[in-house]
Chains A and B, each alone.
Chain A
Amino acid sequence: MATKLVQWLTGLSLFFSVWASIVFDLVPVSFDQRIYQVVLPLPIYLVIAFGCYALAVVGYRTATFNDCVEAAEELKEEIMQAKADLKKKGLKMS
């Protein structure tokens, strides 16, 4: 199976060959001027859109990252129980 790097390179080169063939008129098909205006800056738009998406996702997930306060409280209590029980059983902990 191709590595992730190769998969990415394949995808990107496919995209850019289509993009270049339109932008630099490499194919004998003529498009409407408005299509050129969209296609030309498309890579930059995609990068910006992805950047926004990444920021939104990471921001949201950071803000909603659970603080497990109860888990910490529970653990503290269990540590006390464990220490008491181990001491009772004669474990030298010092």
Chain B
Amino acid sequence: MASRKTDKYSVLLPTYNERENLPLIVWLLVKSFTQSGYNYEIIVIDDGSPDGTLEIAKELQKLYGNDKIVLRPRATKLGLGTAYVHGIKHATGNFVIIMDADLSHHPKFIPQFIKKQKELKCDIVSGTRYIGTGGVYGWDFKRKLISRSANFLAQFLLRPGASDLTGSFRLYKKDVLQKIIDSCVSKGYVFQMEILVRANQFGFTLGEVPITFVDRVYGESKLGGSEIVQYAKGLLYLFATT
């Protein structure tokens, strides 16, 4: 396939204190891309982790080569949105894949994302926990209920044309992601929602692939009152402005 040779996928991995997880996620990424045969690079954007994430990333670079592992660290914690902007600037691929480095997103789904993108010729492919074979691991009833309620409310108010607004495992055409990010104003959690809402507004096309979300194997996962307040604020903001 000709496109296998010309297309290149840049995986953006924003990290903060992921020394344990980074080697594992990189290993899984390399395994997945080696099996599928697509051209790729992994861009690690470490925000000055005090736990030595960058040091282990350098070790990985020695192991897998600096064409595959690209390090674009920043001095301090500046947040997700700016990490993507920073990452895109250095991405050499024509597609960008964004995922969490904490092993909750499994690289085995990437070939499915790519296949879906080629099949639909769409601008974005989003992983979704909410349809088909998608799902979560490690969530109790309360967490599931909150997640489903929040999603229902978002679908009802925003009609975004995407079933999973807050998941962040997605594939984008690079120029599309650039254009969307330029128009986004939110941060953190809400930023993930805003990307898909803006994409819908611009008329970009979307494909969806069911994914399994395995909640943090190492480290603590967080869902507190402040996250819920942040989510509600973000939802209302998008409701009033888009």
Interface residues of A (CB under 8 A from B): 1, 3-5, 54, 57-58, 61-62, 65-69, 71-72, 75-76, 78-79, 82-83, 85-86, 89-93
Contact = CB atoms under 8 A, between A and B. Distances in A.
B145 interface: yes
22 contacts: A4-B242, A5-B239, A54-B152, A57-B152, A58-B148, A61-B152, A62-B144, A62-B145, A66-B134, A68-B135, A68-B137, A68-B214, A69-B137, A72-B214, A75-B217, A78-B28, A79-B103, A82-B23, A83-B24, A85-B27, A86-B27, A92-B59
Interface in B142-172: 144-145, 147-149, 152, 156-159
B101 to A, nearest CB: 14
Contacts of A62: 141, 144-145, 148
Given A4-B238, A54-B152, A67-B137, 18 more contacts: A58-B145, A58-B149, A61-B130, A62-B144, A62-B148, A65-B147, A65-B148, A66-B133, A67-B135, A71-B137, A71-B212, A75-B103, A75-B106, A79-B103, A86-B63, A91-B60, A91-B63, A92-B59
Contacts of B37: none
Q: What are the 7 A-B residue pairs with the smallest beta carbon separation, nearest first?
A: A66-B135, A71-B212, A68-B212, A82-B27, A72-B137, A68-B137, A5-B240
Secondary structure type dominating chain B contacts: helix
Contact of B241 (A3, A66, A78, A93): A3
B1 to A, nearest CB: 27
Contacts of B201: 1
A79 B212 contact: no
A10 to B, nearest CB: 14
Contacts of A93: 23, 56
B219 interface: no
Contact of B239 (A1, A4, A66, A89): A4
Interface of B: 23-24, 27-28, 56, 59-60, 63, 103, 106, 130, 133-139, 141, 144-145, 147-149, 152, 156-159, 201, 212-214, 217, 238-242
B34 to A, nearest CB: 12
Secondary structure type dominating chain A contacts: helix
B27 A3 contact: no
Contacts of A57: 152
A37 to B, nearest CB: 30
Nearest to A82: B27
A71 B152 CA distance: 25
Given A4-B159, A83-B24, A68 B213 contact: yes
A5 to B, nearest CB: 5
Nearest to A79: B24
A65 B24 contact: no
A82 B59 contact: no
Nearest to A87: B23
A67 B143 CA distance: 12
A90 B56 CA distance: 12
Contacts of A3: 239-242
